[in-house]
């Protein structure tokens, strides 16, 4: 039985990201067990890390970047996971966190925010060959919400995909005991979830929000958003998480 540690990257006062990963993992494999920790609110103990097969670092809605002093509790947990040789996955803030911990750099994108969908994502040659992106083809689109991006990859990291907004949309770092796979986007967020985020932020027109609510089953809505209808099929949307979970069995 696979047990996944989910590291919630928001304080209790923020919007929780871990439940979306719980739902995603259950959709992929109902037998997976999850354990969630909250480093901003409570110390992560050795018991929390015992018996886990992998660790997921969620996205975050905090104001600070992953290399800011405020993010120290998250960085400390990731360092412990890396030291323990636990395979890990990061989405958005989680990928940026790995870049910071491993010696890269993160900052606000000069292109502004990328909210709604990361569009027209292109694979690198390494990305086409890497199991993390198996099933992805050039031009795919995935839900996303972010301000910051990875601006310099850590030495030894492998760029897997990017788009015109953020050149680093996915990377892998596999050196020594560390095996980290990460994406800038959010496969775990449903299109309905994006509509809810837009409502909370007060962004996007009602017509756009309606298209997000319908996009999973309405091909016209998906196309109006700039995506292919297949991009919103749940197990296609969850490609990276599904591939990462499969890799743990190997």
Q: Which residues are part of the catalytic machinery?
A: 92, 186, 188
Q: In the 3-class helix/strand/coil scheme, how is the chain assigned residue by residue?
A: CCEEEEECCCCCCCCCCHHHHHHHHHHHCCCCEEEEECCCCCCCCHHHHCCCCEEEECCCCCCCCCCCHHHHHHHHHHHHHHHCCCCEEEECHHHHHHHHHCCCEEEECCCCCEEEEEEEEEECHHHHHCHHHCCCCCCEEEEEEECEEEEECCCCCEEEEECCCCCCCEEEEEECCEEEEEECCCCCCCHHHHHHHHHHHCCCCHHHHHHHHHCCCCHHHHHHCCCCHHHHCHHHHCHHHHHHHHHHCC
């Amino acid at each position: 039985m696979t047990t996944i540690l989910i590291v919630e990257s928001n304080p209790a006062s923020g919007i929780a990201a871990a439940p979306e990963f719980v739902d995603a993992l259950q959709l992929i494999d109902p037998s997976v067990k999850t354990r969630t920790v909250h480093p901003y609110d409570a110390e992560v103990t050795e018991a929390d890390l015992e018996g886990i097969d992998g660790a997921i670092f969620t996205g975050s809605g905090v104001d600070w970047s992953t290399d800011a002093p405020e993010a120290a509790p998250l960085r400390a947990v990731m360092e412990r996971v890396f030291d323990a040789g636990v395979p890990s996955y990061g989405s958005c803030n989680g990928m940026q966190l790995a870049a910071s911990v491993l010696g890269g750099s993160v900052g606000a994108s000069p292109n502004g925010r990328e909210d709604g969908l990361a569009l027209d994502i292109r694979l690198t040659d390494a990305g086409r060959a890497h199991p993390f992106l198996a099933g992805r083809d050039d031009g795919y689109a995935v839900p996303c919400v972010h301000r910051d991006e990875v601006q310099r990859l850590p030495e030894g990291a492998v760029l897997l995909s990017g788009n015109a907004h953020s050149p680093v949309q996915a990377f892998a770092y596999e050196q020594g005991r560390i095996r980290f796979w990460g994406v800038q986007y959010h496969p775990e967020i449903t299109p309905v979830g994006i509509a809810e985020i837009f409502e909370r932020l007060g962004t996007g027109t009602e017509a756009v929000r309606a298209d997000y609510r319908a996009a999973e089953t309405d091909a016209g809505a998906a196309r109006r958003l700039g995506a292919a209808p297949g991009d919103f099929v749940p197990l296609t949307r969850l490609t990276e998480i599904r591939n990462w979970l499969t890799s743990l069995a190997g």
